[in-house]
Structure 1
Amino acid sequence: MENPSTALVHTRQGSLLGCSEEGFHIWRGIPFAAPPTGELRWRAPQPPQSWQGVRMADSFSAASWQNSEYCQQVGGGDPGQFSEDCLYLNIWSPATRKKPLPVMVWLHGGGFTIGSGGLAPYDGKALAARGVVLVTVNYRLGHLGFFAHPALEAQAGERLYNFGLLDQIAALRWVQENIAAFGGDAANVTLFGESAGGRSVMALMASPLATGLFHKGIIQSSYTLPDTPRATALAKGKAVAAHFGLQNATADQLRALPADAFWSLDGALKIAPTPIAGDSVSPEPMLDTFFAGRQHSMPVIVGSNSDEASVMAEFGVDLAGQIEKLRREQRLGLGLIRLLYPGVKGDAELGRQVCRDMAFTTLGLVVMQAQQRVGQPCWRYWFDYVAEAAHDVYVNGAWHGNEVPYVFDNLLLAEPSNRYVNARDLAFAAHIADYWVAFAAHATRHSDALPGPVNWKACVRGRDRLLRIGLNKHAGFRMANRFMRARLSLFRRVMHQHVKLD
């Protein structure tokens, strides 16, 4: 049995000393790439520099430049300090371990514009206590992470736009090379994330550059918005340069702009909450890869929440207005939708449910069918639990992102749940974390169920089934067959025409 007395480890770059807390070793602020500053801005991440002696790893690094107030409101908490030098990761590992442990690598959400791997809801102790090594990752956000411009393209001699995704790939490569020193099994890595983090999991499952770097994926509340086309991204890049007075910008002029000049850009100049299709990372649109069943072959969990429309206002979507638009432009389509949503009254409520299902719920069906094409199991879920004291706040169900502190079993660390959860809420969260860890530890190509309060059956051999996590906001688990199948089948067929930000 391994029980190191201190959190001293030796990586390829040098020795690290972390912290020991409550039976865990924790390392914060580990560099997995060179600082992407100066000449390295808008380039693929370079290997981290080595160091002599022992480097302290006891505090979180700065996060990528972003809107701090916005992150505190909707992104999971205070992201702390900001810097262009932000490519660091954090690790939680049990102090006592008998063998190499499964590894879970978390990619935070935030629309690719906010967030940090050091936010309180992502604390890894509760998952590590279940026998995994937990890794959280920072990556470049906003225009620093997703940017295209002809001058950069010409200088690089190749198409690279998704620098944030390249950062995630670099972190996974670092995990492959070093995680054994922290007690992890490099041959059993689960990549999981929520919202933009879930979208990132899908993007890396579709990327030729991520082949073999992880072995399972958990996709939480990803969305069906199309990737940004290359031509659109290049035009936006030119518009951003012009905004700074650079009508015919050179690569050097762009890299000379202050790092904090981009995060506050708004309106037509802000980035979309999607990666850019058409570079070396994402040669084709991610959804096209999944529709064709060309994603990397691995077991997957995928699901979404019962009130994902709670995030639509952040995308500028008028829920009732979407129904009014159908009434004006596609009355037959509106009639069909009403048949699919019997008993739903009012444009606002119908719009809420339709937008939720088109943008989020349908993705579970798309991923399930893609998984069946490659012969890999897919566990689907629908999260609909609300803490008992918050039913009046979350009237329509679980908001976008509400499942995250349940997955991490961190209700007492997350705002605002730490102010009102009770013992029954905590017990429910523990079951969800158990499911996630069971998947990371034991799921294989040949698995067909995960143990828990309900035997969670995978969608294998053509079966369409789903685990309801929470029943009408109350505690409970129940398997459902062909969940919303008629609605989701329709939305899958019209996704490319109707799911868009404009």
Structure 2
Amino acid sequence: MKNQRRLRIVTAEGELRGSMDDELFVFKGIPYAAPPVGALRWRPPQALQPWQGERDATAWGPASWQNRDYCLLAGGGDPGHFSEDCLYLNVWTPDIEPSRPLPVMVWLHGGGFSIGAGSLDPYRGKALAAQGVVVVTINYRLGHFGFFAHPVLDAEYAAGNVVNNFALLDQIAALQWVQRNIPAFGGDRRNITLFGESSGARSVLSLCCSPLAEGLFHKGIVQSAYSLPDTPRAEAQQVGLQVAAHFGLAADASASQLRALPAEAFWPLQRPLALGPVPVSGDIVLPDPMLATFMAGKQHRVPLMIGSNSDEASVLDFFGVDATQVLQQLRRKNRLSYQLIKWIYDIHDDAVLGRAVARDMAFSVMPLLIVKAQHNIGMPGWRYWFDYVSEQARDLYPHGAWHGNEIPYVFNTLESQALPAGRGYSAADYAMAAQISTLWVTFARDATEFSYQLHGEIDWPVWRADNDITLMFGGDAEKPLRLQPRFMRGRLRLFRLMMRSMVKL
């Protein structure tokens, strides 16, 4: 057994006492910035004051205010206690004094920027850390606390320095904490992989475009990033004015009046009194829309792995999107496009066709756009497609893998998502989880800007226009991992042209 006294380590802010999980060191609820409460609401995260003595790091920190029922239903579990004081992170490490520094993987949870926490069961870093990496999961501000614009708040900044993307700044502050402190946990501050799913994946892409995040991480994994456009600042300001009016405040309300509103009053607000599930473009954090930055070749020069799942349309119900209705609207407005889509897909049931079209427009097209943008600036990009469904649950998922279904395979935490009574995970399921988590660790350990392939059970070449290779997970019982050339090439070419008009809530 490892020496229990080694549970105490010293960070730049003070001493921490963690715990052991088998042979792994675990530190929970570590603050990475000052609590963003009171006068610090809707301000950039501030430096943390060092503490005296030993700080307990054996319990999860609070999550941002959110809808608990929604998180239980769609977010991965119970996020625990809520508070505006939510800027905490967690670390799993196999060795705090390794012979050479270990790769670091920093996880940004999803949930539409409105639900979730780094402490949820599917995100436990134990299995990844056991493979020789340091895993960090974080909480950050959500909902109106994470993204907000109002003229009186914007007026607090000098011209050109306005902040509306507080959640992205929280993530940047967490990465700065990692740069300061991760060597104390055995991590390599020169090999940081940022990875996330859904809005966490959008965060990875956004930070690839933020001038404030440059140099803080060295590669990224993007799981199921959606193609909804960022919200322009002017639109975000209008929403902020409507929110103030909803609470009985005049258009010229003071910043102190806004900050005095009770925290718990915000999370129940839905559109049109809420932003998202995307960042705001036009502030100092994200000066230009994320996708426009990639298309212009101005993203940070870091390797990226990106992919999506075979039934991403499963999440559209939570956004109130009826895929069949969207398809029928297209048929009424542009019958030629509708006929072309039917011909490309060869699907004649509008419900099934609408689900496939919504999936591809909202999710499948993004990986292709990003790997092409990477290729254009000479940076490696790897594209994957996740279509694996647990052997004893395939009747429950007739259209394929749902949005988020890859997460317990990535973290190798299948038991965190119980199957219905009478069903269990098979040996093939566990083997797939081991393969995927190993591949993610391989990327974190080995991928560099000079990589041309990832070596492993299957050698995975970087995406190039002349090979157009996608790594497929599942979908073929004989070959659950296989390389597929020219995957969806025809339909995604069409959707690149149509995306602007079709992808919207």
Q: What is the TM-score with the length of structure 1 in the denominator? A: 0.97
Question: Partner of 1:60 in structure 2?
Answer: 60
Aligned partner (choices 345, 364, 368) of residue 365 of structure 1: 368
Taking the TM superposition and a 5 Å limit, the aligned residue runs for 1:64-463 are 64-95=64-95, 97-157=98-158, 158-248=161-251, 249-342=253-346, 344-416=347-419, 420-460=424-464, 462-463=466-467
Q: Distance in 1 between matches of 2:101 and 2:420?
A: 34
Between the aligned partners of 2:427 and 2:321, the Cα distance in structure 1 is 37
Q: Give the conservation status (yes or no) of the 8 Å contact 1:146–1:275.
A: yes
Conserved? CA contact 2:26–2:91, under 8 Å: yes
CA contact (8 A) 2:382 2:470 kept: yes
Report percent identity of matched pairs. 56
Quick one: distance in 2 between partners of 1:74 and 1:21? 27
Label 1:332 to 1:461 Cα distance change in 2 as closer, same or farther (>3 A).
closer
> Contact 2:342–2:348 (CA<8 Å) still a contact in 1?
no
Q: Is the 8 A contact 1:397 1:472 kept in 2?
A: no
Q: Post-superposition shift, 1:29?
A: 0.4
How many Å separate the matches in 1 of 2:88 and 2:200? 16
Query: Which 10-residue stretch deviates more, 303-312 or 268-277?
Result: 268-277
Any unmatched runs of 5+ in structure 1? none
1:99, CA displacement in angstroms?
1.6
* Inter-partner Cα distance in structure 1 for 2:204 and 2:110: 11
- Contact in 2 for aligned 1:104/1:440 (Cα 8 Å): yes
Change (3 A) 1:382 1:417: farther
Q: Distance in 2 between matches of 1:240 and 1:170?
A: 27
Amino acid at match of 2:84: E
Q: CA deviation at 1:420?
A: 2.0
Deviations 1:193-220 (A, max 9, x none): 0000000000000111100000000000
1:46-89 Cα deviation digits (max 9, x unpaired): 01110011111000011000000110000000000100000000
Structure 1's 416 and 262: CA in aligned 2 closer, same or farther, altered over 3 A? farther
**Whole-Å separation in 2 of the counterparts to 1:417 and 1:109:** 24
Deviation at 1:123, TM superposition (A): 0.5
Match of 1:482 in 2: 486
Post-superposition CA distance 1:363-400 (Å, at most 9, x none): 01101111001111111100000001110111110000
CA contact (8 A) 1:102 1:185 kept: yes
CA distance in 1: counterparts of 2:314 and 2:329, whole angstroms = 20
Contact 1:372 1:462 in 2 (8 A): no
Deviates further, 412-421 or 460-469: 412-421
Residue 448 of structure 1, CA deviation: 1.8
Q: Is the 8 A contact 2:197 2:223 kept in 1?
A: yes
Q: Look up the equivalent residue of 1:14 and give its one-letter code.
A: G
Which one of the candidate residues 462, 466, 472 is aligned to 1:468? 472
Determine helix, strand or coil for the equivalent of 1:496.
Answer: helix
- Report if the CA contact (8 A) 1:126-1:409 is conserved: yes
How far 1:422 moved relative to its partner? 2.1
Whether the 8 Å CA contact 1:77–1:415 is kept in 2: the answer is no
| 1:30 maps to amino acid | I
- SS of 2:194 mapped into structure 1: strand
Please tell me the root mean square deviation across aligned C-alpha atoms, in Å. Answer: 1.5
Residue 415 of structure 1 deviates from its aligned partner by 4.0
Instruction: Give the drift of 1:497.
Output: 2.4
Structure 2 distance, partners of 1:415, 1:255, is 41
Q: Hey, what's the Cα distance between the residues in 2 that align with 1:294 and 1:491?
A: 23
Aligned-residue offset at 1:496: 2.0
Name the amino acid aligned to 2:243.
V
* Structure 1 position 156, deviation (Å): 2.8
3-state SS of 1:111 partner: coil
Kept in 1, the 8 Å contact 2:67–2:267? The answer is: yes
8 Å CA contact retained: 1:385, 1:475: no
Cα distance, 1:454 vs. partner?
A: 2.0
Query: Number of residue pairs matched?
Result: 499
The offset of 1:494, in angstroms, is 2.3
SS at match of 1:210: coil
Indicate how the Cα distance of structure 1 residues 152 and 416 shifts in structure 2: closer, same or farther if over 3 A, else same.
farther
Instruction: Say which SS state the counterpart of residue 69 (structure 2) adopts.
Output: helix
CA 1:425–1:93: 2 relative to 1, 3 Å: same
Structure 2 alignment gaps of length 5 or more: none
CA-CA distance at 1:267 after TM superposition: 3.3
1:3 shift after superposition? 7.2
TM-score (norm 2): 0.96
Q: Secondary structure at the match of 1:267?
A: coil
SS at match of 1:39: helix
Change (3 A) 1:500 1:51: same
Alpha-carbon contact 1:28-1:91 (below 8 Å) kept: yes
User: Which residue of 1 is the match for residue 6 of structure 2?
Assistant: 6
- After superposition, the C-alpha distances for 1:144-192 in whole angstroms (9 at most, x for unaligned) are 1000000100123331110000000000011001100000000000000
Q: For 1:189 and 1:205, how far apart are their aligned partners in 2?
A: 13
User: Are the aligned partners of 2:95 and 2:185 in contact in 1 as well (CA < 8 Å)?
Assistant: no
Deviation at 1:135, TM superposition (A): 0.1
